[in-house]
Amino acid sequence: MRSTYQDIARKVRRLEPPYYAATRLLAPSWLQPHILCVYAFAHATDTAADSGPVAGRAHRFHAWDTAVRAALADRRTDDPRLAALLHTLERTGLPETWVGTFVDGMAGDLGYRDFGSEAGFQAYVDRVSHPLMLLLSGVHPGCRTREVVRALRDAAEAAQRIDCLSDLADDVRAGRPCLPHTGWQLRGQIELARQALRRARDILPFLPPELVPVMTAFLDVHTLQLRAVERAGPRLTRTTVRPPLLASLKVLLSARRQHMKGALS
């Protein structure tokens, strides 16, 4: 199992270096393997729902969904990724119903994200984004309280809206924009993202102290991304906004210094 977790960590490092770095720098050491395991599981689920030829996508996702349900029911599996997930569930107490909720939400995605309206966007956050945040945070028992679960909804909405705005040009080119994007609508979406990010900071007093640096950095990095979106303005429909990597790294290192200072005080 140790070897499996090491393989998972290496994969996450290749797939998402900023997320890997944030986890290694800021998360409690005892939680790190489990956070990376859940991230890898979520990525595998998203890949099954949203990658590869469209023709066989539903069949591929159904096969993955069946494997996940069987592993949860039997408490055994030959798939190393799912074996690690079962181990994480056992060691952390992460509710397996949260796993099922996330997989159910991804089943409704299956490669086509068409919000079309504010109600459609909010439904997507409820179906996919919020369950994902619950999985990634819920490996810590202190993140399963009613207050944290509710506050994570705001964090999920803020991150999803900012990500959609950042990728809007790609979606427009593909003929499937996920948010309204005429001039005044785009300004409204940016303002909604700003409001959601402000609300999301209300989570900090409810978190276990050892997770405050992780969430603070998460919100600070998305603040940087939103500023880049705001600078792009009308160009969002023509230009993809890349994450400000250097500035994000500075945020992580600053959070790490504060975290270490608090640990030593």
Q: What is the pLDDT of residues 143-157, one digit of tens each?
A: 999 999 999 999 999
Report the C-alpha gap between 223 and 217 in whole angstroms.
10
Note the pLDDT of residue 264.
Answer: 46
Q: What is the pLDDT of residues 201-222, one digit of tens each?
A: 999 999 999 999 899 999 999 9
Confidence of residue 115 (pLDDT cuts 50, 70, 90): low
Contact 26, 216 (CB under 8 A): no
Residues 228-232: what's their mean pLDDT?
A: 91
Tokens of 84: 């690690």
Report the C-alpha gap between 260 and 29 in whole angstroms.
13
Q: Taking all residues of the chain, what is their mean pLDDT, rounded to a whole number?
A: 89
Residue 140 confidence (pLDDT) above 60 = yes
Residue 161 or residue 54, greater confidence: 161
Residue 111 or residue 180, greater confidence: 180
Report the C-alpha gap between 50 and 30 in whole angstroms.
32
Residue 215 CB contacts under 8 Å (≥ 6 apart), including other chains = 155, 203, 204, 207
Residue 265 confidence (pLDDT) above 60 = no
SS (H, E, C) 28-97: CCCCHHHHHHHHHHHHHHHHHHHCCCHHHHHHHHHHHHHHHHHHHHHCCCCCHHHHHHHHHHHHHCCCHH
Report the C-alpha gap between 31 and 35 in whole angstroms.
6
Residues 18-23: what's their mean pLDDT?
A: 88
Tokens of 222: 């998305």
Q: How many Cα neighbours within 13 Å face the side chain of 106?
A: 27
CA distances (Å), 130 to each of 15, 52, 137, 151, in order? 21, 25, 11, 10
